[in-house]
Amino acid sequence: MRWWISIGMLCAVGALACGDVADVAAAPRAQPTQQLSEKEAAASVDVELIIAVDVSYSMDLDELAIQREGYAQAISSKEFMQALKNGPHGRVSITYFEWAASGDQKIIIPWRLIDGPESADAVAAEIMKTPIRRASRTSISGAIYFAVPLFDDDPYRGLRRVIDISGDGPNNSGAPVTIARDSALAKGIVINGLPIMVKEPSYSTMDIDNLDYYYEDCVVGGPGSFVVPIKSREEFKEAIRTKLLMEVAGRTPQRLPVADNAKEPRVSCSIGEKIWQDRWGR
């Protein structure tokens, strides 16, 4: 079952996005029941998290800068540390890559272990020092296909495996997004989404109405998966922080469930490809 949350509802999630995660993360997490060897325990984390960030040309430089800063600040925040501390292992592994067309993905942060303020600050600094880039096309499917095998390269093993995808438009390059999504879900991977909806859709862009519905019905999936839409530039950093905290704490928004993937999508899952074909004929 998947969930949807808006910035206006964040306080209802708990204290998560209101400057204090104690109420959300305070409840004790279930401890792993399987007895692990010393070597296995040393390599265990609460979640293996892949952050997949859209850098297509539809994202302007200011949005890209705010997005980068949002992730860096969220990872080094005291709320993130609190959520981390309340996990069974008290640590997570993270990798961060940027994507655009089906064959355009670039790893910015290889797998890193975050187990406290020092390692979190190091990852945040690494994110911020990388030059910002932009590229053409939008392939959410390409991002998913690129992300899935990265889990095999992670030296740590998590209780959960999550791909966290942010983007401001529908898939218009590469394989159909639903095929890529379903392939990841079949491997037990959860996909969460951060649809960026700060611009009015226009003919000159690939933006669409109801991108949040598109992400809910065509992109995200897996147990407890959710979508946090961003509808103004002012919401960027808060939304990113909220999403990361929920992923680390293993929480989902306490809201009504969104439509299941099995139901008819409210927005066509091939709308991006159709718009591209209608405008450029290829």
User: What is the per-residue pLDDT across 86-97, written as a single tens digit (0 to 9) for each?
Assistant: 999 999 999 999
**276 pLDDT higher than 90:** no
pLDDT score of 32 more than 80: no
* CA–CA gap between residue 53 and residue 67 (Å, rounded): 9
Any idea how long the chain is? 282
Pick the range with the lowest mean pLDDT from 1-5, 73-77, 78-82, 112-116: 1-5
What confidence category does residue 17 fall into, taking pLDDT thresholds of 50, 70 and 90?
Answer: very low
Q: Does residue 16 sit within a domain? A: no
Q: At 40, is the pLDDT very low, low, confident or very high (cuts 50, 70, 90)?
A: low
The pLDDT of residue 253 is 67
**pLDDT of 203 strictly over 90:** no
Q: Is the per-residue pLDDT at 178 higher than 70?
A: yes
Closest among 120, 125, 71, 62 to 98, alpha carbons compared: 71
3-state secondary structure of 201: coil
Residue 143 is predicted with a pLDDT of 98
| Mean pLDDT value across residues 213-224 | 95
SS3 state of residue 105: strand
Window from 26-40, 111-125, 225-239 with minimum mean pLDDT = 26-40
Average pLDDT over residues 211-233: 93
Q: Is the pLDDT of residue 12 over 50?
A: no
271 or 27, greater pLDDT: 271
Domain assignment present for 58: yes
- The per-residue pLDDT for 75 is 96
Task: Output 157 or 1, whichever has higher pLDDT.
Answer: 157
**Looking at residue 61, what is its pLDDT?**
87
pLDDT in the model for residue 277: 78
Q: 123 to each of 32, 68, 140, 244, how far by Cα in Å?
A: 27, 12, 24, 14
Q: What confidence tier does 282 reach under pLDDT thresholds 50, 70, 90?
A: low
More confident residue, 58 or 223: 223
Question: Phi and psi dihedrals of 277, rounded to 5?
Answer: -65, -40
Q: Do the domain assignments include residue 118? A: yes
pTM of the complete model:
0.84
Give 14 or 63, the one with higher predicted confidence.
Answer: 63
The CATH code of the domain that includes 268 is 3.40.50.410
Give the model's confidence band at 141: pLDDT under 50 very low, under 70 low, under 90 confident, else very high.
very high
Domain membership flag for residue 246: yes
Average pLDDT, the chain: 83
* Domain interval for residue 216: 3-10+45-280
Strand order across the beta sheet in which 44-54 lies: 3-4, 226-227, 190-195, 157-167, 44-54, 92-99, 105-114
How many structural domains compose the chain? 1
List Cβ neighbours of 278 (8 Å cut-off, separation of 6 or more): none
31 falls within a domain: no
Least confidently predicted of 45-59, 138-152, 258-272: 258-272
Q: Give the separation between CA 164 and CA 215, rounded to whole angstroms.
A: 12
Which residue carries 């910035």 as its tokens?
A: 7
Q: What is the mean pLDDT of residues 155-182?
A: 95
CA distance 87 to 7: 25
Q: Which amino acid is at 37?
A: S
Q: Examine residue 93 and state whether it is found in any structural domain, yes or no.
A: yes
Q: Is residue 39 part of a domain?
A: no
pLDDT of residue 117: 96
- The answer to whether residue 29 sits within a structural domain is no
